[in-house]
Chains A and B, each alone.
Chain A
Amino acid sequence: MSEPLIELTGITKVLKGQSEPRTILDGVDLTVREGESVAVVGRSGSGKSTLLSVVGLFDRPDAGRYLLAGQDISRLRERRAAKLRSSHFGFVFQRFFLLKHLTAAQNVAMALVNGQGWPRRERRRRVLAALDQVGIAHLAKNRPAKMSGGEQQRVAIARALVRNPRVLLADEPTGALDTETGTLVIDALLGATENGCGLILVTHDRDHAARMGRILDLADGVLTERVPA
């Protein structure tokens, strides 16, 4: 079996709301290996997005241990977190968050913070390769306003893939799309796992969840593996 990319043990996250603090994650255990795809399901407000924001280093857990590729990163500074986000993770959200004044290619290139120190040609090549990987290389010069929702989401996936992330985190990426287009998007995400990339997909769609290697249920702050029926 391949090395675990992500190993969470006993992750706890308490959110301080207006009144009293609420424990959203209460001892989450989760392991994701290279090339593995995992679906996280649960009812609205169960904390799925919160879990992704901990995994994606948007936020720090209040307790528990987080190993990323064997390295303990339970506590780390924002500077280093920003570096790890760009070197290890790719993000896809329900909304596409494309910058409307930029072309598809420029939107993808946006994820190359500081140009990665790569020469312009190399950057161009990678951007086009990422767009090609999700099947929309021909739209490189289009602006978001001229693209369909499915195409826009695939630009967003290309943006997540352009740096060859170790793990893709997708938070309801098909939520705003029809079933058919959603399927295309899931295809694109699963395509990336063939290169050894891990995938955590948060979804409300049973069919999409069923296409993942494992399905995990988030309820009452803990993750439980759904045994295939």
Chain B
Amino acid sequence: MMRLSGRLRSSLIIGLQGIRARKLRTLLSMVSLFLGVLAVVVVQAGASIAERALMSDLELTNGIDGTRVLDMPPNPQAADIVVSTIAGRSDAVASMAASAIIGEPGVQPVNPGGSPMDENWGSSSICYPDGHCEEQGGPKGEAVELRLTALTGDIRAFRPFRLQSGRWLDFTTMPALAPRLVLNREAAKGFEEHHVPAEMRVGGAVHDVTPQFIGVVDDGDPQPRAYVRVDELANWLPPGGLADPNTGGEMRVMLAPSTPAERVLTAKLRGAGVETYLSTVDSRKERGKELSLMRLIFFSMAGLVLLIGVAGILNVGLATVGERVEEFALRRAVGTPRSLLAGIVLAETLLTGLLTAAAAIAASAAALKVVSTLLGDSQPLLHDVQFPWEAGVAGIIAGLVAGILGGFVPALRAAGIPIATVMRA
């Protein structure tokens, strides 16, 4: 160990001396290698940025990878079990949705059925607990239909909603009397385009409610939605009412991987005869296949460019060793082992590769910054995008690999120089 680290140190020190003594050559090597490393960095950066964008969209809608998702058909009894079991927990959050109309009473909403704002799917019917459905009539008016989603806790632990404006729901305070709503972007759009009075009708609620809008989030959902604390809504609508199958309720519990709540909850629900469907979010695996082929193609192209750079390093390396025959023969004469000589040459090409990697990483990080500020406003993918660390790692690996490939043959040459050279010179 001592010997190895001593050699490594010597190689690096002597290699650095060599680089400093031949700055122009080092620069030429770097120039020949630069494009190759740059290509690798750019490909990796592009892949990482694209993947990150895809993943974060998936995370918004499906949940972070590893999240356990428990789905069940809407059922008032199940809703009560769920709320009583996981209320106040942060490692398990239930969401229950029902249809709600906000706006002028007695009119048909601008988006019947809670469809996205720009698509109108015609009129809708509302069904009541007793089973009969009613075509929603009345004149079209200033009202927006949305999915009112009641939450038992902060769901952002599982679905990292992006706050657009205002505030997100605060689950730590006492429940307010008037329910506070956070809209998603589609719902916010509806309220922006239509002048809607703040009065909310929820299927099954005793009274109409006057909600307060406190913020807008991006939840990745194309349908208008509003989020609310389940306990704030409870004054008007008990959880059981939310889970009414006739109003098209949804019931879902998201759980941290391996929380004890999962076992308790499934046991209780099974005891009550509720059917549940358990799954684990794994977006990366699903997306991975699509991305890997693209990545393979781009990396092979970058690899080819890198290979040209390697040839450049190799060329300069061989020329340098040829020029330093006497130095290496002398070093061998004073007892430098061949392995150290090879190490010196490799250290030089490796350092050259690393310097090139640093330059390429710096160049592409700077370019990304420029592109992001220039195009970030029109291209959401490029908005405020960070230089991905994977691209930095890929660049360093490319630099090291190029250094090893380009330095290997010169290193062997250097190690094979006969010592007698010093006597015949």
Q: Is the CB of B335 within 8 A of A58?
A: no
Q: Is the CB of A114 within 8 A of B420?
A: no
Q: Closest Cβ of chain A: how far from B384's Cβ, in Å?
A: 47
Give the number of residues in B that approach A within 8 Å (Cβ atoms): 28
Q: Closest Cβ of chain B: how far from A98's Cβ, in Å?
A: 9
Q: Is the CB of A52 within 8 A of B10?
A: no
Task: State which of B3, B20, B340, B423 has its C-beta within 8 Å of the C-beta of A171.
Answer: B423
- Write out the residue numbers on chain A whose beta carbons fall within 8 Å of the beta carbon of B330: 97
Number of A-B contacts (CB under 8 A): 76
Indicate with 1 or 0, residue by residue over A86-128, a CB within 8 angstroms of chain B CB atoms. 1100010101010111100010001101110100000000000
Q: Closest Cβ of chain A: how far from B307's Cβ, in Å?
A: 31
Q: Is the CB of A58 within 8 A of B419?
A: yes
Task: State which of B6, B332, B338, B422 has its C-beta within 8 Å of the C-beta of A93.
Answer: B422
Give the number of residues in A that approach B within 8 Å (Cβ atoms): 31
Is B189 interfacial (CB 8 A cutoff)? no
- Write out the residue numbers on chain B whose beta carbons fall within 8 Å of the beta carbon of A86: 334-336
- What secondary structure prevails in chain A residues at the interface with B? helix
Closest to B330 in A: A97
Q: Is the CB of B423 within 8 A of A93?
A: yes
Is B333 interfacial (CB 8 A cutoff)? yes
Question: Contacts A99-B327, A101-B21, A114-B7 given: A82-B425 contact, CB under 8 Å?
Answer: no
Task: State which of A53, A84, A87, A99 has its C-beta within 8 Å of the C-beta of B423.
Answer: A53
Q: Closest Cβ of chain A: how far from B422's Cβ, in Å?
A: 5
Q: Is the CB of A101 within 8 A of B17?
A: yes
Q: Closest Cβ of chain B: how far from A47's Cβ, in Å?
A: 11
- Write out the residue numbers on chain B whose beta carbons fall within 8 Å of the beta carbon of A93: 422-423, 425
Is B129 interfacial (CB 8 A cutoff)? no
Q: State the CA gap A79–B338 with chains docked (Å).
A: 8
Q: State the CA gap A95–B421 with chains docked (Å).
A: 11
Q: Is the CB of B335 within 8 A of A115?
A: no
Closest to B329 in A: A97
Q: Is the CB of B332 within 8 A of A82?
A: yes
Q: State the CA gap A49–B420 with chains docked (Å).
A: 9
Is B137 interfacial (CB 8 A cutoff)? no
Q: Is the CB of B333 within 8 A of A115?
A: no
Task: State which of A84, A95, A101, A114 has its C-beta within 8 Å of the C-beta of B6.
Answer: A114
Q: Is the CB of B17 within 8 A of A82?
A: no
- Write out the residue numbers on chain B whose beta carbons fall within 8 Å of the beta carbon of A159: 334
- Write out the residue numbers on chain A whose beta carbons fall within 8 Å of the beta carbon of B335: 82-87, 111, 113
Closest to B13 in A: A115
Q: State the CA gap A115–B423 with chains docked (Å).
A: 25
Q: Is the CB of B337 within 8 A of A82?
A: yes
Which residue of A53, A93, A102, A114 has the most chain B CB atoms within 10 A of its CB atom? A114
Which residue of B7, B334, B337, B425 has the most chain A CB atoms within 10 A of its CB atom? B334
Interface residues in B1-49 by Cβ distance below 8 A to A read 2-3, 6-7, 9-10, 17, 20-21
Q: Is the CB of B20 within 8 A of A101?
A: yes
Is A78 interfacial (CB 8 A cutoff)? yes
Q: Is the CB of A115 within 8 A of B6?
A: yes
Q: Is the CB of B337 within 8 A of A56?
A: no
Chain A interface residues toward B at CB < 8 A:
49, 52-53, 56, 58-59, 78-79, 82-87, 91, 93, 95, 97, 99-102, 106, 110-111, 113-115, 117, 159, 171
List 15 A-B residue pairs with CB atoms under 8 Å apart, sorted by A's residue number.
Answer: A53-B419, A58-B333, A58-B419, A59-B420, A85-B333, A91-B333, A91-B422, A93-B422, A110-B331, A110-B334, A113-B331, A113-B335, A114-B7, A117-B2, A159-B334
Chain B interface residues toward A at CB < 8 A:
2-3, 6-7, 9-10, 17, 20-21, 326-327, 330-338, 340, 418-420, 422-425
Closest 4 CB pairs of A and B: A86-B335, A101-B21, A58-B419, A85-B335
